[in-house]
Copies of this chain bind each other. A is one copy, B any other.
Amino acid sequence: MPEINGVEVEDTYCEAFEGIYTRILITAKYEWLLKKAAYGATSLPSTVFGESEGGVETFVSPEETPDGRLGAILQIWVAKTKKFHDILMREFGKRVRQGVLVVPTTRVFDASVESSVNKFDSNVNVGRCGDDYQWFEERWGREMIIVPIMFGEFAIERYIGYSEGVAGGNVWIFCESDDSAIEAGEVAVKALRRIEGIVTSFDICSAGSKVETKYPEIGPTTNHWYCPLLREKIPDSKVPEGVRSIPEIVINGINLESVERAIYVCMKVASKVDGVVKFSAGNFGGKLGKYRIYLNDVIKKFNY
């Protein structure tokens, strides 16, 4: 039976999807303002509402930012639908304007990783909130938009890259108690904070969902087959005996390799937590997503 550090790994795959993301670097004068903007702008993951989700990839040293200030790398994701460009424009505008621009001293820089990336003009969805009092200026080696605001100024790089990545990668951690679930989830999320290119929009997600629902108007519903409380109440529960909690770590990454690596690290570190008894992952029979990431394949691939 496949396993990692003695913990069973179900012979299954997580189904992941094509998503469109932007990767930006934000900076601020003090760490507390930076954190407020970083966490605020990436909270409320609402792709299931036809909106967007985000995450903090990592915090970076002043040595690594164009303006020499404290920085954070963020990702903002939308589903790859036909209208993704419009949705991305609206959602990027909303998250940056309502989550970053409103926080004193913040700036936004493009942090695209590929040369082939597409770019949009952030003057359209962010800069124009300067009501045409904004101007363009070369600063910190970048082409910036300077938006005069009541606090002083807000600066955003004019051209922001967007690209296709891999969204919805996930690992399910079967645990004997909610406390081991919290510990395993936190260990996994903190280890993933070190992996370049990925974000965990929900961090320790307590409410994995399924596609089927009686209420399509409110989106995905609870994955009842994997709800420990329903184990004795429904005939087709898939919760093993003794399992009381199954947190999910949802992983988006800039490419397949980064998501695979993250899935491996997630299992590797969580496997050492007392009370973790099994790993699995969510899929929809492979009908919906482009990618199938087999848990056992990533174990073989990254087992260093």
Contact = CB atoms under 8 A, between A and B. Distances in A.
Which of under 10, 10 to 19, 20 to 34, or 35 or more describes the interface residues of A? 35 or more
Contacts of A227: 133, 148-150
A98 B44 contact: yes
B181 A226 contact: no
A80 interface: no
Contacts of A128: 214-215, 218, 221
A36 interface: yes
Contact of A32 (B30, B221, B226): B30
A267 to B, nearest CB: 12
A182 B24 CA distance: 24
A144 B34 CA distance: 35
How many copies of this protein are present in the complex?
4
A143 interface: no
- Which interface residue of A129, A204, A222, A273 has the most chain B CB atoms within 10 A? A222
Q: What is the interface of chain A mostly: helix, strand, loop, or mixed? A: mixed
A276 to B, nearest CB: 11
Contacts of A272: 62, 67-69
Interface stretch (A10-18, A110-118, A187-195, A288-296): A187-195
A136 B81 CA distance: 38
Interface of A: 29-33, 36, 39-41, 43-46, 48-49, 61-63, 67-70, 93-95, 97-99, 101-106, 125, 128-133, 146-154, 172, 177-179, 181-183, 185-187, 190-191, 193-194, 202-210, 212-215, 218-224, 226-230, 233-234, 244-248, 265, 268-269, 272-273
Given A41-B44, A101-B206, A105-B206, 13 more contacts: A61-B194, A61-B269, A62-B269, A63-B191, A63-B269, A68-B269, A101-B207, A128-B218, A129-B222, A149-B208, A152-B181, A152-B245, A177-B179
